């Protein structure tokens, strides 16, 4: 990426290095933008032409020198199978495999735009970045994002996000220091599959459950059948 390859009429910003092994370059706004979701939606619609994926960031300095993990997304099923322990999912006596996709739901890009608007409206992430990545799931690798580093590598996170993109129409819209904001256009319609998906969420981000739910297995799967925005947080 260089200045000539950027979309025209961007807000004030600069090209920065995404340090570490990825060696990619990233454009980043100089400050928080009150209309960051409008910019995100416009740049997201143009991503196939530019090869640049927009992501909302909490802070303008959110580039990183190093994060654990490799440069190729891992297989999500293998990650969950290796991470599973009997105490992880009390309702499952053994690894149940990946949750089955529901098949039909909302339009993923429209759902992503709604999630981006919500992230900005709630003042969770108002900085804007453009990342050389074919899909949002690959942004953690491209940015060397370390927010989940106490639990999983960026290659593992990207592999999990790719799988959720394919099965549930998930789209990455934003990152904080330890937060991931996703849209989910095609939630599970079967409660059993929602329980399996809840288990995947738990294995990817147990911190979120330990800090937000007293009895997550009784409530969270039902929520997953209706909500179209997912948030994860690592301590």
CA pair distance 100, 193, nearest whole angstrom = 6
Residue 157 structure tokens: 């996170």
SS3 209: helix
* Both structure tokens of 196: 């399996």
> Any residues with CB less than 8 A from the CB of 70 and at least 6 apart, and which?
153, 155
173 is written with which tokens? 């819209």
pLDDT at 104: 86
Give pLDDT tens digits for 15-43. 886 544 556 778 999 999 999 999 999 99
* 218 φ/ψ sector (left φ>0, alpha ψ -120 to 50, else beta): alpha
Contact 229, 182 (CB under 8 A): yes
Tally Cβ neighbours within 10 Å of residue 188: 23
Order of strands across the sheet that contains 127-132: 13-17, 25-29, 127-132, 52-57, 170-175, 179-184, 229-233
Read off the DSSP letter of residue 114.
H
Q: Given this model, what pLDDT does residue 40 score?
A: 98
Quick check: helix, strand or coil at residue 233? strand
Question: What are 65's two structure tokens?
Answer: 């020198």
Please report the beta strands in 69-224, taking only residues with DSSP state E, as ranges in sequence order: 127-132, 170-175, 179-184
pLDDT at 20: 46
- What does pLDDT average to in each consecutive run of 10 residues of the chain (235 residues)? 72 75 77 96 94 92 66 94 81 87 91 98 96 93 87 95 98 95 96 93 88 74 94 92
Element spanning 212, H or E: helix 206-212
Please say whether the beta carbons of 174 and 211 come within 8 A: no
Q: At what angle do helices 154-168 and 76-83 cross, to 10 degrees?
A: 110
pLDDT for the residue 19: 47
Say how far apart CA 120 and CA 113 lie, in whole Å: 11
């Amino acid at each position: 990426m260089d200045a000539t390859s950027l979309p025209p009429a961007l807000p004030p910003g600069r090209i920065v290095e995404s340090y570490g092994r990825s060696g990619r370059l990233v454009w980043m706004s100089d400050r928080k933008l009150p209309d960051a979701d409008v910019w995100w939606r416009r740049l997201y619609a143009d991503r196939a032409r530019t090869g640049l994926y927009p992501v909302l960031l909490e802070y303008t300095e959110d580039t990183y020198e190093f994060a654990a993990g490799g440069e190729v997304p891992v297989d999500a099923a293998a990650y969950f199978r290796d991470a599973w322990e009997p105490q992880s999912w009390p309702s499952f006596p053994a690894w149940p495999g990946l949750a089955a996709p529901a098949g039909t739901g909302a339009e993923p890009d429209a759902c992503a735009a709604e999630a981006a608007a919500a992230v900005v409206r709630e003042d969770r992430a108002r900085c804007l970045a453009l990342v050389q990545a074919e899909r949002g799931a690959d942004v953690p690798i491209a940015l060397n994002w370390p927010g989940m580093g106490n639990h999983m590598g960026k290659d593992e996170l990207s592999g999990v996000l790719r799988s959720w993109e394919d099965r549930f129409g998930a789209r990455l819209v934003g990152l904080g220091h330890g937060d991931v904001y996703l849209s989910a256009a095609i939630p599970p319609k079967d409660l059993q599959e929602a329980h399996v998906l809840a288990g995947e969420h738990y294995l990817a981000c147990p911190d979120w459950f330990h800090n937000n739910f007293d009895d997550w297995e009784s409530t969270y799967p039902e929520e997953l059948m209706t909500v179209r925005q997912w948030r994860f947080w690592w301590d």
